[in-house]
Each structure stands twice: as C-alpha cells, then as structure tokens.
Chain A
Amino acid sequence: MAIYLDHAATAPINDAAIAALNAQMRKLGNASSVHNPGRAVRKDVEDARHKLSELINANPSEIIFTGSGTEANNLAIKGFFWQSPTRNVIVTSAFEHHAILDPVEWLVEHEGAEQVLVPITKAGVIDLDFLKNIVATRGNEIAVISIMHSNNELGSIQPIAEVVKIAGDIPVHTDAVQSFGKVDFDFEKLGVTAATISAHKVGGPLGIAALILRRGLDLTPILHGGGQEREIRSGTLNAPAIVAFAAASEFAIANREANFARVRELRDYFIEGLKKSVPDVSINSVIDPALPGIVNATFPGTESDALLLLLDTEGISASAGSACSAGVPRPSHVLVALGLSESDADASLRISIGTTNTKAEIDQVLAVMPSVVERARNAFVVSGLK
C-alpha cells in the first residue's frame, strides 16, 4: 500500500506530458540553430510557449523559461533589485517559500539590500494594512514587492490584485508555483509585473519552469551566456521539457474545475475524519479561498519527524516544514509566521491531496492515524522526560 499525500512537493507526471516529452526527446536540433532541424525544434518550443501563454493569459514573449521555480524566483528578486540601483528595499511576506526568502537574505548579506517582511494574519493572509503603510512611507525605496499567490503549507490564496493596487508603480512579483493549474491564475487580469510557475507541480516534468515578465521590461540576468530568453536567461532551450510543460499545463487546466471540486471534497472529507480520529487535532490550513488539497494540522504532544517516520512505515507520504542542508528537520517558518509556537509548529504535518488520490485512500489514512499519533506521543513523552 502506497498512498501519496505530498502533491505540493511534487505531483505525478501526467500521460500527456510523458507522451510529449518522449516524442520531443527524439527530435534533433538546438532551437537557436539556423538550420532546418534547429528551426523545427524552435517551432515546437514556440508552439509550447504560445499554448502556455494562452493558458495563463499572457503574451508569448512574456514567458521566460528557466530551469526551476527556484531559479525563476531568484531571477525575479535579484533581477528587480539590481535593475533599480537607487532602491534597496525588498518587500516579501513572512511566509514565502525559501526560494524567495533566501535570495533576499543573500542580497541583504552581500549587496546591501534591506528586507521588509509583511506579517501574516490569523486568517493566513498577508497584512494588507502593513503593506499599505510601508508603501506609503518608504515607497520610493522599494525595488520589488514579492508576495506568493498561494501558500504551499496553508493553501491560502493571497489578495494579489490588492497588492498590485497598493504597489502603484513598484514592480510586483508573485510566486504562483502552487496556484498555477489548480486555481484561477490570469497574468493579465492580476496585473502583476512578474510571476513564477513551475512544471512539476502541475503534472509536468522536473527541471522546467518559467518567469512570466511583462513585455518591455528588462531584468539583470543571473545566468550569462547565449542570451536565449530575451537576453534575460541564457542556456540552450530544454525543448522536450518545455513541450511537456505546455502539454501538462493544458491537461491540468482543461480539467481544473472538475479537479478542484473533487480534490476539495477529498480534503473536506479528510479534515472531518481527522477531527473524529484525533479529537485534539487543530487545523492550520485555510479552507477558503484556498488551494483545494492542502491540509496542515497540529497534533499536540508529537514531533513531526516521528509522525512522518511512522506514516512512511505505513506507506503514507506526507511532509512537514523543511529541513536544513544536513537534513535536520526545522519547525516550519510558515506556521511560526502564522503565530504558532515552535513546539506546535514542530508537531504539525502537511498533507497535500492531489487528483490521483481516492476516498478509499483517505479512509486508510484515517484508519491508521490514531495509532500513529499515539506512538508519536509515546516517543515524545519518553524523550521529553529527560
């Protein structure tokens, strides 16, 4: 029995993507070459770019392919920062992904940037009044505002349209890695300056993502070379991955509303069952407006790494917080930003349900949950006595 409940970490690749990937891998040619095979591959890449641009309502030239969501986020943060030498403040939320927080911290340490973190309210959304205030008082110092479209641990969708209004002419970037393909995401309508999407979270392959950047804007590159992507990102275009990215996205978005309803129903069923099987559980994730499949729960008196180990032994894959480079578990900064104590954050799990999960699977998880929590508590009690 293997039950995968970690779709927010990476989702299963879908058949459309595998077919596209396989077909494209047999095609010879560098999309930047002038000859026939090169042009043929270039056409496939541009078809994919076109398709993707329609799916997110952007212009094809606004899509800059990158090697990962992490790279796209780095490009946005560093690119906007270096692009405006007179502005050194970077505003993000306190619960951004590390792929946003860490480049900002790097710029603070090495490039004299100043980081301003927008706090999170109890409802799991950014504090808009704080943002208004910082823009009003220090607007002319801010190089970029980056607020994620939806949070990967809480599921909560952020008021990005409001952020754009507040920002005025300050560039706004949004990390839409978790939202794209799952909830409505319209680049044009949102009005952001830039957005990040990543293929492996929507059924596409690993190692391909994109920064959507408004036409006519320039960003200081972080990779220099052939200048393939608008002179902003260099590297031979990964045609098979790009084509598969578009195919996966098309499939995900064609089924988006049906999937949303189905996954959400599973989520609600899971939460309801969890409250029965572990009565003192508390739910941290957001119900609405939110991603359909994220459940984040605190199991008092446990440690998340024990819960994960025990679930893994039962064939169930979930996740918690993040880990340092040596793999040492760390309490989730997202939950701490939400106001949880370190020990509560440390006792929390994220279960992310996806389109391939079934009600029978949820039932199996609910059935083992009480014993898993009990054993994790035993382990905590004995080690806590010292």
Chain B
Amino acid sequence: MKLIAAMSGGVDSAVAAARAVEAGHEVIGVHLALSSNPQKYRSGARGCCTIEDSHDARRAADVIGIPFYIWDMAEEFHDGVVENFLSEYADGRTPNPCLRCNEKIKFAAVLDRAKGLGFDGVITGHYAQMQETPLGRVMHRAVDPGKDQSYVLAVLNTEQLAGAHFPLGDTVKDQVRVEAKRRGLYVANKPDSHDICFVPSGDNAGWLRDRLGSDVGPIVDEAGTKLGEHKGAYTYTIGQRRGLGITIPAAGGEPRYVLKIEPKTNTVVVGSHEALAVTKIVGDRPIWCGPTPTENAEFRGFAQVRAHGSPLACTYLQTGSEIKVDLDEPLFGLAAGQGLVIYDGDRVVGSATVAHTE
C-alpha cells in the first residue's frame, strides 16, 4: 500500500513508520505543522509544535530512508481544535482536544489529503489494535494497558478507521524504545508528551484566562448561598476540590467539590462529594467505530470518560442521535464536553460527547 506516516518527531511515530516500511508498504513521512508560528504555542522539547520536533521527525525519516515533507495544518488545527477548545470552555464544558485532533485533523484533513494525492491511508504511532472481522474492521485496546490510546481514537468512524494504521498496538512501550535504539532512531529516549500540545508549560488555567479573560464571579453552594469568589469559572473542573479559596466551612466540616460551572452567570457551584455522583450519562454526536449497535436496544458494556480512566460496567442504548448510559456503580465528577467511549470488552464500540448527566 501507499501510506502517509504522520511523524510527530517522537519515538512512537518513528517506529510505526519504520515498521510499515519493513512490512513492504511505500511510505512517505509527513510532519504536521500545527502552528503557523511554531514558537507560538509552546517552546519546550516536547509536544507537537516545535522546530525541534520537526527536525527530529525529518531526521527519523532520513534514518528510515523515506521521503519527508512538512504539511501546514495550522489553519485546520486552529479552527478545528484550538477554537473548539476555547468555545467549549467558554460554554462551561470540558473538551478533550486530542480526541478532536484525531477526529478533525489526523484522520480527516490529513487522511483526506493523503487519499486525494493517491495514497491509501495514514500511519500513526498510536497504541491501539485493529482487527478485521466479517462485519468490517474494528479497533481494540493496545496490549500495553499503560499506553492504550483507543480512548482518543474512538472518534474515528468506519471510513476513517479503514484508512488508519497503528503498527504499535501489539507492542509495549518499553519494547518500542528498545526497537527505536536498534533501528538507530535517536529519538529513542525522548520523553513522552503528556500535556495539551498547544498550551505552554501545561498551564491550562493561565492559558484560558489569557484568552477568555478573568471575570470575577461567585462561588455558591447548591442552595445559592455565596461562599466566595473566583477569577474565571472555566478555570475550574467538575470534581475539583483544591484551590477553591472558600473560607466559610461547610456544615460538618466536609470538603467541598466543584459540582457545576454556569458560564452565563459566571457561577461556580460547589457541594458535597455525594452530589458529584453520576449514574446516568447522555452523550450526543455518536460516532461508531465499527458496526453500529441496533437502535434502542440495550447492551452491556463499559463506559470510559477520560483517557486513562477506568472502564465502568454499564448498560447502554443508542437512539440514533444519542448514547444513553446506565452505570452499575456511580461515578464521581463528570463534566459536559468530556468524551464518552463505549467498549465491548476490549473492543471500541463508539463514542459520544457528554451532554448531560444525572
């Protein structure tokens, strides 16, 4: 096959590209420039937007022996990921930009361009496994539970899935590093990136405050009694306990947690741990990462609501426009905007965006 390897400059995508070449594919390496001014978003050695990363990617492509190009996806990334990240926070929701980037950039803008140019698909260094079944291609968790990235890939629809290649899903990360060394890829020891790539130094609250302002607003309890003030409601996360700066103690001295963020009134609502409990989740924008489950039929499965969260046993049902989840055990702290991913064992069924909870 003719494939485009998306090379971030990290060890995973480099080994993924090398493996695809070894498997006999015709591979071209591409580094995505996600910022029109590479120093704008962050200036560290990690992440996906630095000059160092593009040089590392080029060097890896040279060592592997494949052609290498830089694709300017800055506009697509800004419009599709960064703007969405901001507007979601402005609406009091908690988005996951990595999900968004996979959905709108890596397996949309990049995959579409690759196909237009006559290529068959895109290779990335993501950790997830593909399986061909009589009902089509499906995606499973990676063998390395610590690195499994099926959660952030659950936004791929079947067509995107068909054009995606993840050569690392069957390998544990330590072995990938060993393999990188053996292949002479000097990115072997590069640290993993964890933060949001466009937020410098991981200061999410500061980055949001710079762009959305820091209007002072009330922190109230569930009855509406004002307990304190905050500087920008969107810098809080549902379930957050520390850093609320409330001086009035709760009855019984129990700790308080952020329960709700109301962007219209710029209000942060706090309350007890029990009040965070969620047993029902409704997600909108469903995407089926494989066969579509029968509409309005109940299935047993697992729900996962954050990248490295635990899978929670549940019953789910889809209505066409929504996924409704009934959790066996309550979950504490879930924000609208988070990604809801449904698994059947290790298989990814699909995903939705958390709309509301009970």
Q: A309-B28, A386-B109 are in contact. Are A326 and B117 (CB under 8 A)?
A: no
Separation of A188 and B117 alpha carbons in the complex (Å): 51
Contact indicator per residue, chain A 126-139, by CB within 8 Å of chain B (1) or not (0): 00000000000000
User: Which stretch of A10-18, A76-84, A377-385 is in the interface?
Assistant: A377-385
Interface size class of A (residues with CB under 8 A): 20 to 34
- A323 proximal to B (CB < 8 A): yes
A386 in contact with B80 (CB, 8 Å) = yes
- A279 proximal to B (CB < 8 A): no
- B173 proximal to A (CB < 8 A): no
Separation of A376 and B69 alpha carbons in the complex (Å): 15
Residue among B28, B38, B108, B112 having the largest count of chain A Cβ atoms under 10 Å? B112
Residues of B within 8 A of A325 (CB): 38, 51
- A94 proximal to B (CB < 8 A): no
Residue of A nearest to B36 (CB): A328
- B317 proximal to A (CB < 8 A): no
- A313 proximal to B (CB < 8 A): yes
Residues of B within 8 A of A214 (CB): none
Residues of A within 8 A of B54 (CB): 326-327
A327 in contact with B70 (CB, 8 Å) = yes
- A278 proximal to B (CB < 8 A): no
Contact indicator per residue, chain B 117-159, by CB within 8 Å of chain A (1) or not (0): 1100000000000000000000000000000000000000000
- A162 proximal to B (CB < 8 A): no
- Partner of A309 from the list B33, B51, B117 (CB cut-off 8 Å) is B117
Separation of A308 and B67 alpha carbons in the complex (Å): 12
Residues of B within 8 A of A379 (CB): 112-117
- B76 proximal to A (CB < 8 A): yes
- A312 proximal to B (CB < 8 A): yes
Separation of A86 and B81 alpha carbons in the complex (Å): 51
Residue among A306, A325, A377, A386 having the largest count of chain B Cβ atoms under 10 Å? A386
A326 in contact with B108 (CB, 8 Å) = no
Question: How many Å from the CB of A237 to the closest CB on chain B?
Answer: 32
- B58 proximal to A (CB < 8 A): yes
Residues of A within 8 A of B67 (CB): 309, 312-313
Separation of A323 and B69 alpha carbons in the complex (Å): 11
Residue of A nearest to B76 (CB): A386
Q: A328-B33, A386-B80 are in contact. Are A309 and B112 (CB under 8 A)?
A: no
- A87 proximal to B (CB < 8 A): no
Contact indicator per residue, chain B 41-54, by CB within 8 Å of chain A (1) or not (0): 00000000011001
Residues of B within 8 A of A375 (CB): 116-118
Contact indicator per residue, chain B 68-84, by CB within 8 Å of chain A (1) or not (0): 01111010100010000
Q: A375-B117, A382-B113, A386-B108 are in contact. Are A328 and B72 (CB under 8 A)?
A: yes
Separation of A312 and B58 alpha carbons in the complex (Å): 16
Separation of A386 and B75 alpha carbons in the complex (Å): 11
Residues of A within 8 A of B117 (CB): 306, 309-310, 375-376, 378-379
Residue of B nearest to A383 (CB): B113
Counting from the closest, the 7 A-B pairs by CB-CB distance are A379-B116, A378-B116, A382-B112, A327-B70, A328-B33, A326-B38, A326-B51
Chain A to chain B contacts (Cβ below 8 Å), 28 pairs: A305-B69, A305-B70, A306-B113, A306-B116, A306-B117, A309-B28, A310-B118, A313-B67, A326-B50, A326-B51, A326-B54, A328-B33, A328-B72, A375-B116, A378-B115, A378-B116, A378-B118, A379-B113, A379-B115, A381-B116, A382-B112, A382-B115, A382-B116, A383-B76, A383-B113, A385-B112, A386-B104, A386-B108
B interface, CB within 8 angstroms of A: 28, 31, 33, 36, 38, 50-51, 54, 58, 67, 69-72, 74, 76, 80, 104, 108-109, 112-118
